[in-house]
Structures are given as structure tokens and as C-alpha cells.
A and B are shown apart, each in its own frame.
Chain A
Amino acid sequence: MAVALAQPFAVCRGIEILESLHQFAIELKEKYTVYASQQETRLPEVEFIKGSIFEVDWSDASVIFANSTCFGYEHIVQISQIPCKPGTFAISMTRPLLHSHWQVLESLNKPTSWGYAKIFIQRKLSPGQELE
């Protein structure tokens, strides 16, 4: 929802496997929908999907965000290899996605609720650029 307020995407989707957090998101969406209907400028649609990021199809993404500070190695590998369009941007925290599939464009130190985190801006490589 934060991104929906910040940039003019067509739609912003959140994928969450935990029911409790998903319900929080649904509540928030109701407030956002009312707020968006009152704005002169069209705001993005916001959708929340209950499910696993490894099962939900997000291959149509223009930008993905992974709050990946405590993601394990296996999760980073899995996410890195999920098919999506070349040129898709990715934002990850603390660790980048695999360089075999994603090019790191820049890293930034930004404040978070728990201190400063390194944030990586990355772009999906095209099939001919991917490394074995």
C-alpha cells in the first residue's frame, strides 16, 4: 500500500502466506479503497493474495520487493530463479538476489525500524545474459 501511494503503478499486489498478516492487509485495503476513491488522481489498485510466493504467479511483475534480511540461502535461490520478464526490477534488503539471474545496479543504506539496512536495486537479466 505504501508503494501505491508513492508511485503510479497500475496495481500493487502483496503476497502473504500467514493468515493473520493477510487479514491485517485486508483491513488496510478497505481504508485505502475509501481514500483512493476520494482522490482526484487515480491511485493504483491494491490487491492482497493469500498464498506462497513460490506458488503464486508473479511473472507479470514490473517491480518486486523482497524484505529478505532473514531469508535463507534456499529461499534466495528459489526467488532468484522464478521466471519473470527480463528487465524486471527487484528491491531486496540486506542480501541481493543471485547474480546469475539478477544484475545489481546499486546498493543503498537506508533506515529501517530496526536500524540501517543495505538495500539492493537489481534488474532481471535476459536469458542470454544469465550465468550457469
Chain B
Amino acid sequence: MDPKQFWRFEEDRTNPHRVDDPLQPTPEELVALQAQHQAYNTLVSHLNFHQAVTASNQEREAVGSTSDITQTYGEIVSCKQEFNSLAEVLLTMKNRYRAHFEGGVFYDLGSVGLT
């Protein structure tokens, strides 16, 4: 593929939902989301975000891939701040696009190669 088309994508033009029309969680969903966020904060409270970044950088330096920035934003994810964003995306998938999560498998594709 021509790299110039890298940014090209075609949204479903029959879809009335655009970037300025985000799904608003229901009051019940907001309550659940707050409880989930609280649980998440408790579980990650011991983690040192900067320590994780440092360890990651050191490992990449060790294999000589410091100049490879492709991993940078994939790792520098302070999930404490992004929990709500990800949770709301999942709600959008379920409520607007009939994504079915029960029994399903979720994959977080982490850092790309150390080349």
C-alpha cells in the first residue's frame, strides 16, 4: 500500500454517530463505572508509573533500540487517567454496535518489536 494512504480511512457514512456525538453512559452505568474505577485505583496504587517507564527504557537501551519510538506511547499509558476513556469506549461498542463481551476474549496488544 502507498504510505500516503496511511492516514486514509473511510468511516461508515450510514453511521450517524460522529466524533462530536459520543455515547453518554446512563446513570446506572456511571455508578458502575465509578466503582470499577475505584477498584482499579486500589489495585494499581502500589505501581510506580515512572519506574515502569524507566525499566522499559533501560531494556530497550540494552538491545540498542533507544531510537525506536514506536513503543513509547504504547507503554506510557497511565491507566489511572485512561480507565474511564477505555471503559466508555467499551460501553459505546456494546450499546451502539452490539458488541458481545460475555464469554469473549480481549487482547491488549502491547509493545511492538525491539528492532
Which A residues are closer than 8 A to B by beta carbons?
1-21, 24, 28, 31-32, 35, 44, 52-54, 58, 60-73, 75-77, 79, 89, 91, 93-96, 98-100, 103-114, 118-121, 123
State how many residues of chain B have any CB contact under 8 Å with chain A. Answer: 72
Given contacts A3-B86, A67-B73, A121-B89, contact A62 B105 (CB under 8 A): yes
Docked-complex contact B52 and A12, CB < 8 angstroms:
no
Q: Which residues of A contact B70 (CB under 8 A)?
A: 70-72, 75
Tally of A-B Cβ pairs under 8 angstroms: 233
Docked-complex contact B100 and A62, CB < 8 angstroms:
yes
Closest residue to B55 on the A side, CB-wise? A20
Docked-complex contact B106 and A13, CB < 8 angstroms:
yes
Sample of 11 more A-B contacts, CB < 8 Å, known A54-B112, A71-B112, A77-B1: A1-B43, A6-B83, A20-B58, A52-B113, A64-B106, A73-B6, A99-B10, A113-B76, A113-B81, A113-B82, A121-B97
- Partner of A106 from the list B15, B55, B101 (CB cut-off 8 Å) is B15
Closest residue to A75 on the B side, CB-wise? B112
Given contacts A9-B104, A58-B109, contact A107 B97 (CB under 8 A): no
